[in-house]
Structure formats: C-alpha cells, structure tokens
A = this chain, B = another copy of it.
Amino acid sequence: MTLAYDGTNFAGYQVQPKQRTVQGVLEKALTKMTKGTHVHVDGSGRTDSGVHALGQVISFDYPGMIPAPSMLRALNSLMPLDIEILNAEIVPEAFHARYSAVGKRYMYKVARGRYTDPFKRLYTGHYPYPLDVDKIKIALKDLEGTHDFTSFAASGGVIVDKVRTIYEATVTEDQANNELTFEFYGNGFLYNMVRILVATALEIGNGRRDQHDFLRLFEVKDRQQARGTAPASGLYLKEVYYPSLDEIAKETRKSH
C-alpha cells in the first residue's frame, strides 16, 4: 500500500509504547478488520516525529482474501484524517516494503521571509537569512554520485556502511510562495541525512560555507563539522522505488 500522512501529530512512523505512531494506527486498524489477529506492518523505512509522507510504502500479510480495492476502501474508512491510503496492490510473497526497495525520493520545503508563516510552520523549515539559490544549485551537483556520507549521518545509528549513491539532488524556487523545494533521489539515506544535507546547503547559499564544502565534508568524515539539522516539519518522504513485481516474483522462485 502507498500512503500519505501529515506527520505533525505522530511520534514518527515506527511503533513505540504509549505513543501515537503511523505503524501503530495501521496495525490497530488491521487487527480490527481481522477481529483480533495481529497483523505486523513493514514500512519502507522510519520517518521521525513531524516528518511527512506523500508516498510511504507498507507491506503486510493479511490472513484472508480481500481484493485490493476493497482492502483500500476498508482500511481507509478506519484511518484517522491525518493518514490517507492512496493505493493498494497484491504483491508476490517475496515483496517486503523495506528490503525490496531500491531507491527513495525525499522532498524538503523551506519557507523564506523574516517571520514564520503560521500556515507553513508545520509543513516547511524556515530560513530567514539571505540566500544565493544559484550557489545552492551548484553545490547540490557535488552530492550526485557515490559518496561516504559519514559527515551527514546522525550519530547513534547502527549502520556501519555509510556509502550511498545520490542520483539526483535539486532545488527549485517558488517565487510566488517564497519557498525553496529540495529533492533528493538516491539508493538509500542515513538517519537524518536529508535534514543535515539541507542545513549545510542553506549555509552554502548564505555564504557561511565554501561553495564546495560538500566535497570537503565527504573527505573529513566528521559529523561535528556539518553541525545543523533542518527541522522535521519540512521533510516529506515522496516516493519509494521497487523493481517490477515480475522481477520480485522471479527472485522468489530462484531462492526456493
């Protein structure tokens, strides 16, 4: 299933005791549908508290046969207003929302202007200082390719290999709304990586960092030097990419 959610009132995607989480809400609704059998939901990845999704992907084994459109309607009718299920599909058994994913696209929205716009505070980061957007565009080119992102990963992560490939890193300016929209498309992202990349890109655009500081930060492999993390409110998980279902089904047959 593909879903959108407003992350504001969730303690993130992943289940946590006594907290309202996206996974928790989904599993509770599915347990209601099965009349008591717990259904475990796998997400393509966690999103933090306040982080939004336009296209989060989840997978689960449902104990029963329900056509996908009926499942979509039934589960949506049990969803709170801050989650909307956009699509449902029956997938090969080998499909797993996290392990089958081959890429992800994140979006980050930054509101400019001196004060925080009340209607944007939960849906953008805010940067009130001057920016040279062309400088940011040039800097983002340095991100494309395969790099060691150690400088851009929140400490405390358990993942050892911090090499990732970014296929595309762009920024567009929406003059009418006085906003910037970043997009990052890559094969995987470390914890807080997008928010740290955005904070660094804004410092480059403001002139507080050198034009090619991303390249230096790849070299030094030091989280302390990237410093800032842009707020969760501006971040959206936009799309998760998978091989075709045929290819996934073939993989299953091979592994049997």
Contact = CB atoms under 8 A, between A and B. Distances in A.
A81 B118 contact: yes
A9 to B, nearest CB: 10
A113 B83 CA distance: 15
Contact of A84 (B6, B52, B118, B123): B118
Interface in A88-131: 115-119, 121, 123
B118 A5 contact: yes
A76 interface: yes
A6 B81 contact: no
A127 to B, nearest CB: 15
Contacts of A119: 4, 6, 52, 123
A151 B27 CA distance: 46
B4 A84 contact: no
A82 interface: yes
Nearest to A72: B115
Chain multiplicity (copies) = 2
Interface string A54-97: 00000000000000000000001000011110000000000000
Interface string A1-33: 000111000000000000000000000000000
A6 B5 CA distance: 20
A254 to B, nearest CB: 39
A10 to B, nearest CB: 11
Contact of A118 (B6, B115, B116, B121): B6
Contacts of A118: 4-6, 81-84
A12 B153 CA distance: 42
Nearest to A115: B84
Contacts of A116: 81, 84
A76 to B, nearest CB: 6
A86 B118 CA distance: 11
